[in-house]
Amino acid sequence: MTQVETAPSNFIRNIIEDDLQTGKHQSIQTRFPPEPNGYLHIGHAKSICLNFGIAEDYPNAACNLRFDDTNPLKEDVDYVHAIEKDVTWLGFKWQGEVRYSSNYFDQLYAFAIELIESNKAYVCELSAEQTREYRGNLTSKGKNSPFRDRPIAENLDLFARMRAGEFKEGSMMLRAKIDMASPNMKMRDPVIYRIRFAHHHQTADKWCIYPMYDFTHCISDAIEGVTHSLCTLEFEDHRPLYEWVLANISIAAKPRQIEFSRLNLQYTLTSKRKLSALIDENIVTSWDDPRMPTISGMRRRGYPAASLREFSKRIGVTKQENTVELASLEACVRENLEANGPRVMAVLDPIKLIITNYDEDKSELLIAPNHPKDERMGTRSVPFSRELYIDRADFKVEGNKKYKRLKLNKEIRLRNAYVVRADDYKTDETGNITEVHCSYDADTLGKNPEDGRKVKGVIHWVDANNNHPAEFRLYDRLFLVDNPAAEEDIHTALNPDSLVVKKGFVEVNLADAEPEKAYQFEREGYFCADNKDSSAEHLVFNRTAALRATF
Ligand code: ATP
Ligand code: MG
């Protein structure tokens, strides 16, 4: 399958097309609203591709990047920068400046006063525990707060004093006056402002009261002229509150909230909170550890941005809850790398191969194609001399018919080079093979041997005298269980082999391998230089994916 980036159709795009056709909207505005409390993950990539994809595909459409920053205790400006970087890397551009919900704190405060003035909000002094008790549950109605009928003037006075910092955290809150008997718990007089004496990464110490998500989000959407506010299904029962707030304040815009199912991915956690715990517990090194399903982790591992966009397109957008196979993400990555990754040679677990009939003083530059199926990718020259490295797994003293590699007294082709025959080998005191001695046939460069000899199999190699040492980090999925989020103890679900480190050699052409640039290491897998740890003095390559699916 080729990766042509065509617009996918889905129920949300159908709604948008209807709205354009009926003239409900002349232009379309979406937004991507991350909370800056962690790094973006593959689930966010789905939401980004949906929101920014719509902005790209419709004329007069745009998408805002808005940080949903109402909880200063959990947020950090480092996350803001990381998120901007990830969205840009994925290939998208937001409209105008980056926005923050905190840009609207003054307006939000004014709208809260409007609600109080129209007797639709009140200052409540119930404790957290009492508030919970009064709220009731799914089977029993809630009870009205004893503070619910406070006179408007008193509410205005107390709310102003909450803002002025006169009251302790938790002692008071502003609540919308809706319906304590509503079957929808979200409508039972939700809290819309709380006291928090916290420094905010954008507004510093200007505020000691902060608006709650449900009050903030809909108003921010309306202020920005968002027409379609797309969110995941868990917000379905927030929608009546979203609409209630906008219906009860003096704002004309009425954005429409539409929910879609979140991405769940096999073997993968998609929750910032849980991913953050993996770092805290030293299970991974950082947010961009190549085993993390974060955008920065996948980038560092070598997943091309286009393959993540392709994946988002293939999984589609629906309201059905489901879990996507990890193999389908990897298939998108492999298809991209197979087409775009130049071939090179690297030996990950080296033993020496000595060609006894090759002149000691001689060395050659052999021409190798960079891609067997794509001539446009050109060729390169690879040094070849009497001593080479091959992979330990590519030589056996004896092997059955299925073992199409080098066997004692048998011939094999060295990729892009000659046919050699293994004549002898040496071992160390523990019996490990340390070197293999062979002889080559000078007449077999670039052509098959004559006299009816059949050479089955090709192995890769690196010149032992002209190469670069390198570290290889072989990554695999972090969890062995299908749904790690359901595990009581995440430790028992870990894959002990999620990272295996090897030390070997790469061909000289990889000396200045650009970080994140994909290569196919012949017969080994897709690799890229690590964007943090690799340098000319110490090359480090991450395995992006094995050549074929292994599970
Ligand atoms: P997390 O639980 O990881 O913190 P979140 O939903 O709280 O996720 P936000 O920063 O609030 O994270 O999310 C920004 C946007 O990304 C929201 O619109 C949210 O619905 C969407 N999103 C988050 N996770 C997923 C997912 N797994 N699939 C699709 N969209 C998602
Ligand atoms: Mg969240």
| CB of 25 sitting under 6 A from ligand 1 | no
pLDDT at site 7 = 65
Domain identity same for 433 and 529:
no
Domain identity same for 252 and 283:
no
* pLDDT tens digits along 121-158: 999 999 999 999 999 999 999 999 999 999 999 999 99
**Domain end call among 225, 243, 260:** 260
- Burial track 517-539 (b if 16+ CB lie within 10 A, e otherwise): ebbbbbbbbbbbbbbeebeeeeb
**Domain end call among 395, 428, 460:** 460
Express as a percent the part of the chain with pLDDT over 90: 95
- Give, for ligand 1, the residue of 31, 32, 47 to mutate: max count of ligand atoms closer than 8 Å to Cβ: 47
pLDDT at site 326 = 96
Q: Which atom of ligand 1 is nearest to the CA of 51?
A: 18
Domain identity same for 224 and 116:
yes
Average pLDDT, the chain: 96
* pLDDT tens digits along 214-264: 999 999 999 999 999 999 999 999 999 999 999 999 999 999 999 999 999
Q: What is the CATH classification number for the domain harbouring 41? A: 3.40.50.620
* pLDDT tens digits along 527-540: 999 999 999 999 99
| CB of 47 sitting under 6 A from ligand 1 | yes
Q: What is the CA(35)–ligand 2 centre distance, in A?
A: 6
234 carries an active-site annotation = no
Number of compact structural domains in the chain: 3
Q: What is the mean pLDDT of residues 420-439?
A: 96
Domain identity same for 175 and 48:
yes
Domain identity same for 251 and 268:
no
Q: Looking at the domain assignment, is residue 17 inside a domain?
A: yes
Q: Which ligand is nearest to the CA of 264?
A: 1
The pairing of strands 395-396 and 387-391 is: unpaired
* pLDDT tens digits along 391-403: 999 999 999 989 9
Residue nearest to atom 4 of ligand 1 (CA): 272
Domain identity same for 338 and 319:
yes
pLDDT at site 314 = 97
Domain identity same for 104 and 231:
yes
Q: What is the CATH classification number for the domain harbouring 357? A: 2.40.240.10
Q: Looking at the domain assignment, is residue 222 inside a domain?
A: yes
Three-class secondary structure of residue 209 per DSSP: strand
262 carries an active-site annotation = yes
Band of pLDDT at residue 6, cut at 50, 70 and 90? low
Per-residue tokens: 146: 């004893």
Q: Which ligand is nearest to the CA of 49?
A: 1
Residue 291 has pLDDT above 50, yes or no: yes
∠ CA(42), CA(322), CA(275), 5° rounding? Answer: 35
Q: Looking at the domain assignment, is residue 481 inside a domain?
A: yes
Band of pLDDT at residue 524, cut at 50, 70 and 90? very high
Domain identity same for 212 and 309:
no
pLDDT at site 255 = 98
List 66, 99, 135, 272, catalytic entry:
272
* pLDDT tens digits along 454-478: 898 999 999 999 999 999 999 999 9
Spatial distance between the Cα atoms of 95 and 87, rounded to a whole number of angstroms: 12
Domain identity same for 439 and 528:
no
Domain identity same for 291 and 253:
no
313 carries an active-site annotation = no
Q: Looking at the domain assignment, is residue 28 inside a domain?
A: yes
Per-residue tokens: 356: 């006894």
Q: What is the CA(138)–ligand 1 centre distance, in A?
A: 25
Domain that holds residue 122: 11-260
Q: What is the mean pLDDT of residues 369-379?
A: 95
**Domain end call among 202, 233, 260:** 260
Domain identity same for 495 and 359:
no
- Burial track 346-385 (b if 16+ CB lie within 10 A, e otherwise): bbbebbbbbbeebeeeeeeebebebbeeeeebeebebbbb
Residue nearest to atom 22 of ligand 1 (CA): 44
Q: Looking at the domain assignment, is residue 5 inside a domain?
A: no
